[in-house]
Chain A
Amino acid sequence: MNIQEPTAQEIETEYRRLNREAEDGGYHLNPDREFTGNLVRGLIINMRRYGYPACPCRLAGGTRNEDLDIICPCDYRDPDLNAYGACYCALYVSGKVISGDQKVGSIPERRPPRDKRLQFVSPGVTGKSAELSHPVWRCRVCGYLCARDAPPLICPICKVQQDRFERFL
């Protein structure tokens, strides 16, 4: 494969879009511009390589369904932000990092190893669902819940696409 290297302008444009989207949703990009710029470059490359922005710090399998949990922003961003103040890549950081009260570093990988992931099966819906007028959907990335016939096309909170939602009730 021959992936076109992103230009500095493309990286800057994508950086600004991600930054605006992050701040709108109450998140923050790593203020280290050089480090973050390299990660944005990686996201653009993976978008061209796979068709979706697979995490630059994890090895994508190459099929969307297999890589769903590591499409940026990944399923692990929020628990990692809570635990360590940064996502696995340190693309997203906590408010404490921004204010200088917390340091960013390389953190442990939360994503299960490949053989464990292949075993993963969604938990069944509980009996309570029978009493509800609508199914409840949960965004796997930010935890947003909504009760409607189908999940929203885009999460109104963190902007990920519909297939990042799971049936909650």
Chain B
Amino acid sequence: MTSRIGVVTFPGTLDDQDALRAVRVAGAEPVSLWHRDKDLHQVDAVVLAGGFSYGDYLRAGAISRFSPVMETVIEQARAGMPVLGICNGFQILTEAHLLPGAMLRNNHLHFICRDQKLRVENAETAWTSDYTQGQEISVPLKNMDGRYTADERTLDELEAEGRVAFRYADANPNGSLRDIAGITNAAGNVVGLMPHPEHAVEPLVGTGRTDGLGFFTSIIKKLVNA
């Protein structure tokens, strides 16, 4: 049976169509989810896509975190459902406390848009098993609030438990502590990262590479083998 992967649209989400397309290119059935609908429509996994939900007012992701769909996503994520948060989605996951820490304005105060090299530090999460540990991939990065921050104790804990899933492999683009680009929860089902794998799944667009496809093929294998 084909895996059903949902992508949530909040007011201000921009990358939902690319995420839905990435799901389809990888071979799963994409399902559009609406922020006011608590029902997840029998999806097997959820992607929180990038953009500027609620205009990033208050803080990036802070208002979306309290939307009806997130009540179910939070409950299901705690029960083990795979959730991937990309960029604004990552910000929403930290605001929802599904992932530790917080995202702050880039240290240089500029919006960045470029190809970004990442090192895969944890290839054992639900969303990264098609990569190998230490592998370097290149995917687009575009954000204003991408500076990952947490207190020293949390950072040490993340490192010790192998929960830093991705690190910036060349220059740190935004002042993220310890070059962190993405993290996972302890169970490995919830992953958040700032760069955009959904923009690098077809050779014709983005980086010209398909380095981002692994996220979506990883989760499909995980769901099929579950």
| A and B associate | no
Using CB atoms and an 8 Å cutoff, list the residues of chain A in contact with chain B.
none
Using CB atoms and an 8 Å cutoff, list the residues of chain B in contact with chain A.
none
